[in-house]
Amino acid sequence: MNHQATWRETWQAHPLAQAAGRFAANPLAMAGLLLLLAMLLPVTCYPLLPGAAPNAIDLTALNAPPDAAHWLGTDGVGRDVLARVLQGGRISLIVASSAVCISMLIGFMVGAVAALGGSVANAVAMRVTDLAMTLPPVVLLLVLASVAGQGIAPTILVISLLSWPVLARLVRARLLELREREFVIAARGMGGGAWHIMLRHALPNCIDVLIVFATLQLAQAILAEAGLSFLGMGIPPPAASWGNMLNAARSTVVLEHYPWQWLSPGIALLLTELAINFVGDGLSAALNPRSELG
C-alpha cells in the first residue's frame, strides 16, 4: 500500500527540524535560551505597562540605595534604576536588532554580488570588505560615530556599517561553491535571472549562515551600542541605554558610592551577552553537525 507521508513525518525529516532537535538536546544552548527569554520578557513588556516611568523623578530619593520602593535604587536625579534598566534594554535591543537586519541585508547583497556577479564585481566587493576590516572595529566605530553624530538612527547606521563585511565573506564562500552546482546551472540554463537565482537559490542555501550570523552579531551589536554610549557617543541622555547608564560610572563619585547605578545595567548587559552567545554557539553546532566532529 502506498504510504502517504503525514505533515508530521515530512517536518521531522526536514533539516531544520533535525537542527532544532539537536539544539534542544544541548543543555548550554537551552539554558542560554531560557535566560534570554527571562531577560527579554520584562525588557520588552515593561515599557508597555501603564505605570512605566523611566524618566519620572522622585525628589525624596536622590541616589537612594535599593529598597522596597526602588528595587534597584535611584540615580542622581531620583530616577528609578530598575525602570531605566528595563527601558534601556529595550532601546539597546531596538538599536541592535535594526543594525543586525541592515548589516544582514548589505552583507548578503555584497556577498551574493561578489560570488555571482563575475570577476570584476568579485574583486571590487572583496577589496571593499578588506578595507572595512582593516581598521580595528572600535576605531572604525568611533570614526563613523564622529561623522554620523549621536542619536538612535545614527547609532543604528554606524553599527550596521561596521558588521557586514564578515557576513559578505561567509555568503561569498558559500555561494562560490553553490554556483557550480547542477540545480543552479539548470536554473540559469532555463533562463532564471539574477534576482531569481539570488532569492530562490542563494538565499535558502545561506539560511544557516544567516541565522548564526544574526544571533552572534546581535550580541556584538548590543556590545557596540553599549560601548559607544559608554564613551558618550551613541544614545544621548535623557533616553536610557545600558551603555549610557554605565557612562555614569566614569564619575568617581558614582563609581565609588552608588554602585547599584552602574552595576545593574552592567549585570543586565553581561547576562544578555552570555545568553545570546550560548544560543549562538548552540545554533551553530546544531546547524553544522559536522563541525562538532572536527
Partner 1 sequence: MLYFIARRVAAAGLMLVALSVLMFGLLRLTPGDPVSAYIDPAVPMSEADIAALRHRLGLDRSLPVQYLAWAEAAIHGDLGYSTQHERAPVRALIAERAGPTLLLMGSGLLLATIGGLLFGIISAVRANDWLDIILASLSALGISAPVFLVALIGLFVFAVRLGWAPAGGIATPGVPVTAGDVLAHLVLPAAVFAITQMTMTMRFVRGALLEALGQDYVRTARAKGVAELSVILKHALRNALLPVVTLVGANLGAAVGGAIFIESVFNWPGMGLLLVNAVEARDYPLIMGAALVIGAFVLIVNLLTDLLYAAIDPRIALR
**Could you tell me the CA-to-CA distances from 280 to 155, 209, 214, 271 in Å, in that order?**
24, 11, 9, 14
- Minimum Å gap between C-beta 62 and partner 1 is 21
- Minimum Å gap between C-beta 182 and partner 1 is 29
- CA gap 53, 85 in Å, rounded: 12
> Comparing C-alpha atoms, which of 118, 117, 208, 209 is closest to residue 166?
209
Helix 81-116 with 152-179: angle, nearest 10 deg: 30
Amino acid letter, 239: A
Task: Tell me: does residue 143 bind partner 1 (CB under 8 A).
Answer: yes
- Minimum Å gap between C-beta 137 and partner 1 is 6
Task: Tell me: does residue 12 bind partner 1 (CB under 8 A).
Answer: no
Identify residues 209-228 at the interface with partner 1 (CB under 8 A): 219, 223, 226-227
Sketch the per residue contact string, 30 through 69, with partner 1: x for CB under 8 A, - otherwise.
Answer: ----------------------------------------
Q: Report phi then psi at 80, rounded to 5.
A: -70, 125
Part in contact with partner 1 (CB under 8 A); list of ranges 81-89, 101-109, 186-194, 265-273 = 265-273
Binding partner 1 by CB under 8 A: which of 18, 122, 205, 277? 277
Task: Tell me: does residue 130 bind partner 1 (CB under 8 A).
Answer: yes
CB within 8 Å of 211: residues ≥ 6 apart: 283, 287
CB within 8 Å of 1: residues ≥ 6 apart: none
Kindly list the residues in this chain that would bind partner 1 in the complex (CB under 8 A): 127, 130-131, 134-140, 142-147, 149, 219, 223, 226-227, 230-233, 246, 249-250, 252, 255-256, 259, 262, 266, 269-270, 273-274, 277-278
